[in-house]
Amino acid sequence: MSRPDLSLFTFQQLMALDACTRCGECVQWCPTYTEKPDLDAITPLRKIEAVRRFVRGQYGLRARLFGPRPPRPEALQAHATGTYDCTLCGRCAVVCPANIQTRELWIAMRRDLVRQGTYPAVFDRLRETFLNAHNISGDDNANRLIWSQNLPQIPEGVGKKTRAEVVFFVGCVASFYPQSYSIPQNAVQVLEKAEVDYLTLGGEEWCCGFPLVIAGMGDAAVETMRHNLEAVRRTGARRLIAACPSCYHTWKHDYPRVLGEPLGFEVLHLTELLVELLTDGRIPLRPLEETVTYHDPCDLGRTSGVYEAPREVIRAVPGVALVEMEHHHQYSLCCGGGGDVEMADKDLVTAVARRRIGEAQATGAKVLLSACQQCKRTLAGAARQEKIRIRVLDVVELVAQQMA
Amino acid sequence: MDVETLFWVIHLPLMVLFLVGLADVVGIWLQGRVEGVGAASAGRKFLILLGRTLRAVFSRRFPVILKAFITEAWFNRRLWRTSRWRWLSHFFLLNGFLLLMTLSGLAALSEKVLYHLFHLGHVPWIAMWYTADHPVTALLNEIGGVLMTVGLAFYIVRRYLARPAQLRTGSMDTWMVVGLGLILLTGWIAEIVRLNAGYDGPAPYLAFIGYPLSRLVSGWDLPWEMLSEWLFLGHGLLTSVVIVTIPYSKFLHAVATALVATVGGVQQETAMAHGGTAHVPA
C-alpha cells in the first residue's frame, strides 16, 4: 500500500529526486524548519531524500532482484508530517543550486500521500466542506456577498449585474472571514471610482479549488473548477480579477492546465488592474506622508512572478516612502498562512508570522502592506499577539483610503 | 595477459554494468508523467522525450537551451549567488573532472581509433593527445588534477571539519569523498611513478606538481616501469568501479542536476517570455 505511485510525479520531478545533493541551502531558508528545528523531516532535502528512498526501495532493478523494501510506517508518517507542515512558500526553489522546482514537487508528494492514506485527517473535513458548501469555511455559499452589507451603498456590480467586462472573483477568505471583509469592500469602492464595468458572482462563485489542489486532493476540485469557468463565461467578461493571490494563481495557471483548454479571458491580480487604472489617471490619489513596507505574498511573488505591480501602486501614492524588509521579492519570508498549514499546525503558522512581523517592525514602518487576504489575516493576528503597533493593510485599502 | 588487456577485460563489463544501472534509473524516471502522459510504456515516453528534445535543439530555441545549460548547469549561477566559496569548490571539482574526462576520451580516441585503426599517428594534433608529456597534454592533465584535488579538499573541509548546521552528511557523501579521493590519490602516485619510469614527450616538467614530486623520489630504488603499469591499471579500474556506482550514488547528481537545472532554466525563461511569470506548472 505504501508504494509511491510514480505516475503522480513528472519525469522531471523523479529526476529531481536524484538531482538533490543535500547541500542544505534550502534548510537555511525554510521558514517552517526555522521555527520547528526538531522536525528534520520538514526540510526540503529530507523530503526529497525520503521519497527517493521510498521509490528506490520499491522500483527498479534492485527491488526486482532482492524484493521491494516498503518504508517503515514511522518513516512514512514522519515524511507526511514534514510534507504537510510545509507552507509551500517556494523559497527553497529560489535558492536551490540544482534549480529544483520544489513547490510542485511538494504538491506531487502530497497527492501521493493522499493516495496512500497518510495525511492529516483534518483534510478529509476540508474536502467534505469544499464539496458540500463550495467554500472553505462551511458557510452557506449564498452568503458570499455578506461583506457588502456594511457598505454605505451596495454597488450595482455587487450581485445585481449578470454581464460585465470584468469579473471580480472575491475568494473564500475575503467572503467569509470578517477580518478580511475590508478588502472586497475597498476593492469595489475603487472599481466604482474608476468606473470599471465589473460584477461579482455571489453564490455562483465557488471556491477556486486552491486549498484542495495544494492539499494533494486536486482531483476533487475539477468539477468545481469547471463550474467556476462556466459561471465566468456566462457573464461575457473579458477579464477576471482576483484580490487573493492563491485564487489568481489557480485561475491563471491551474485552470487551463487542469481543464485542458484556454479560459477565453484574461486573469489579473487586483494590483495589476490598479496599476492600469492609476496609469490611466482613473484613480486620483491624495498624498500621504507615511513610511510603509510591503510583504510579498508567496503565491503572488515567488509562485506567480508578480513583484512590481503592488510596489508600483504603493509608490503611486504621493508622499509614501516604501522601505523593504530584510527579506523581500523572491527571498521574501512567508507569513505562515500558506500550504493549508493552518489546518495541520496553527502554532507553526503563528511562529512564522511572528518572525515576519518582526522584520516589518525592524523597518520602522508604521504600515505593513500586503496584497493577500490570508497574509493580512495572519500578519495582523501576529501583530496583535506580539503587541506590535503596526497597521496591516491590503494595498487596495491604501488606495481606497487615499482616493481623492 | 598484459596489463592493458587485463584493464579492458575488467573495464568493459564494468561499463556494461554502468549502462544497465543508468538504464534502470532512467526507467524509474520514465514511470513519471511525460508531457502529461502517465499511462504509456517507458519506451513510448522515451520517444516522446527524445522527439521533444530534438525538436527543441533544432529550433530557434537552441540559444535559450544553450544559455540555460551554461548558466544553470555548468556555471551554476545559483550557487554563485549563494556562496562564492562553495561555488569555487564545486566549479573546481566539476571542471577538473570534465577536463580529465575529456582528455582521457581524446587520448583513447586518438590512440585506439585514429592511430591504431586509421594509422594517423603521424598527425601531430592527433598524436599529442596520447603523448603524456606533450606540452599541451601534460599541462592540461595537471591542471585538471589540481582543480579536482583543490575542489575535493574544500569539500572535505566543509563537510567533515567545518560542518555548517545546514549540512546533512550521510553514507552517500562519504562514498563520494572516498571514491574521488582514491581516484585522485592513485592518479597522482601513478603520474609520479610514470615520470620516473621514463618520459613520453618533450615537456614532462609541465606536469608542474607531478614532475617536481617525481624528482624528489627518483633516487629510490624501485621497479618504476612495472609499478607504473600496475598503478595505472589500479587507477583506471578504480575509476571504472566509481563509474559503476554512479546510478546508485550521489555521483548521479552529475547527470541529474545538469538536466534538471537546464530544463528548469529553459522553462523559467520560456514562462517569463510568455506573461512574465516565474511559475512553471508541473
CATH 3.40.50 fits A123-276, yes or no: yes
Query: Which chain B residue's Cα is nearest to A106?
Result: B282
B38 contacts in chain A (CB < 8 Å) = 7
The answer to whether residue B273 scores a pLDDT higher than 70 is yes
Q: Are A305 and B24 a contacting pair at CB < 8 A?
A: no
The answer to whether residue B278 scores a pLDDT higher than 80 is no
Q: Which CATH number fits domain A284-401: 3.30.43.10, 3.90.209.20, 3.40.50.1860, 1.10.579.10?
A: 3.40.50.1860
A249 contacts in chain B (CB < 8 Å) = 279
Max CA pair span of chain A: 75
- Indicate the CATH number for domain A6-118: 1.10.1060
Mean pLDDT, all residues of chain B = 92
A140-154, B162-176, B180-194: least confident range: B162-176
The answer to whether residue A339 scores a pLDDT higher than 60 is yes
The answer to whether residue B185 scores a pLDDT higher than 50 is yes
CB-based contact A164:A240 (threshold 8 Å):
no
The answer to whether residue B280 scores a pLDDT higher than 50 is no
Q: Are B259 and A27 a contacting pair at CB < 8 A?
A: no
Which amino acid, B54?
L
CB-based contact, A20 to chain B, within 8 Å: yes
pLDDT band at B87 (very low <50, low <70, confident <90, very high): very high
The helix (H) or strand (E) run that includes residue A268 is strand A266-269
Å between B141 CA and nearest CA of chain A: 27
Residue B254 DSSP class: H
Residues A1-53 pLDDT 10s: 578 999 999 999 999 999 999 899 999 999 999 999 999 999 999 999 999 99
In 10 A of CB B17, how many CB atoms?
16
Å between A23 CA and nearest CA of chain B: 6
A11 contacts in chain B (CB < 8 Å) = 29-30, 32-34, 45, 49
Å between B264 CA and nearest CA of chain A: 6
What are A382's three cell numbers?
Answer: 501576529
Residue A266 DSSP class: E
pLDDT band at B281 (very low <50, low <70, confident <90, very high): very low
CB-based contact, A250 to chain B, within 8 Å: no
Q: Are B86 and A23 a contacting pair at CB < 8 A?
A: yes
List of E strands, A283-381: 290-294, 320-323, 367-370
CB-based contact A350:A380 (threshold 8 Å):
no
Q: How far apart are CA A15 and CA B120, in angstroms?
A: 42
Å between A257 CA and nearest CA of chain B: 8
Domain boundaries, chain B: 1-59, 64-273
CB-based contact A383:A357 (threshold 8 Å):
yes
pLDDT band at A398 (very low <50, low <70, confident <90, very high): very high
DSSP lists the bridge partners of residue A242 as A169, A269
Q: How far apart are CA A7 and CA A56, in angstroms?
A: 15
Which amino acid, A325?
M
pLDDT band at B276 (very low <50, low <70, confident <90, very high): low
Q: Are A306 and B166 a contacting pair at CB < 8 A?
A: no
CB-based contact B31:A14 (threshold 8 Å):
yes
Residues of A numbered 53-82 whose beta carbons fall under 8 angstroms of chain B's beta carbons: which are they?
A: 55-56, 59-62
Of B29, B168, B277, the CB nearest to A305: B277
